[in-house]
Amino acid sequence: MLQIKNIGKNFGGVKAVDDLSFNVEKGEIVGLIGPNGSGKSTTINLICGVFPVDLGSISVDNQNISRLPTHERVASGISRTFQNIRLFKDLSVWQNVWVALQQDSIQSAGWMQEWFGNSKFQKEKIKEILVFSGLGSRFNDLAGNLSFGEQRRLELARAIASKPKLILLDEPAAGMNSDEVADLRQRILDLKKLGLTVLLVEHVMELVMNVVDRIVVLNFGKKIAEGSPENIQNNEDVQKAYLGGA
């Protein structure tokens, strides 16, 4: 469903992403790994449209989205979480989800109703998403008052609220202990059960190797390997890139 073809991005002469191509199929969980500075986060930002690609194209379901602004890419089915959590901390938990909530077209009664109307039918949907994300008891708390793990879950809830087909998770396990990683793994598998496609950028191998169907490895902005977790673990180029060997 996601096709990335020969994309490139330079930052002042540094090739952050260099001629990168890979696909993500519907319903798949794909891991994107690589050493620090290998271009993983840049790739995520290019897919979301935080900055435009210099070269190449990004398509979702054969529709080229390379030139769309970020919010239109969300409408075409891409949502994300951030490496460093970016919640609306002064809004309550349910408002964080409310802001991102996309209407089912059947229920939607136009933009006046959505922006200025009463939100009875939206409330049920918001509660459902929050319960699914394990935040059932914290609807009315300020997002900034949640624990670290809860904040990560709320980011995921907010990402789900925009009705994505593809979710990009940017290092969701950063800073988590192993219990929390296990919980996160289950949540990612739950996303797959819902029929969502996941692209996971992650350093925590304990998570990556146990959840993904396929891995793409980057180094210096280029793809150096792609395959199943077992293949990647035994790949010499990957070992060199991570261990810094010649």
Site residues for another protein per CB under 8 A: 48, 50, 69-71, 74-75, 79-80, 82, 86-92, 94-96, 98-100, 102, 114-119, 122-123, 126-127, 139-140, 158, 161-162
Residue 97 burial (C-beta neighbours within 10 Å; 0-12, 13-18, 19+): buried
Nearer to another protein, 152 or 214 (CB): 152
Residues 6+ apart with CB under 8 A from 76: 60, 63, 65, 68
Minimum distance, C-beta of residue 70 to another protein, in the bound complex (Å): 4
Minimum distance, C-beta of residue 156 to another protein, in the bound complex (Å): 13
Minimum distance, C-beta of residue 200 to another protein, in the bound complex (Å): 17
Nearer to another protein, 42 or 219 (CB): 42
Q: Which residue, among 154, 134, 204, 156, has the nearest Cα to 176 in the 3D structure?
A: 204
Instruction: Indicate the DSSP class of residue 171.
Output: S
Minimum distance, C-beta of residue 39 to another protein, in the bound complex (Å): 19
Nearer to another protein, 135 or 218 (CB): 135
CA 58 – CA 209 distance, rounded (Å): 26
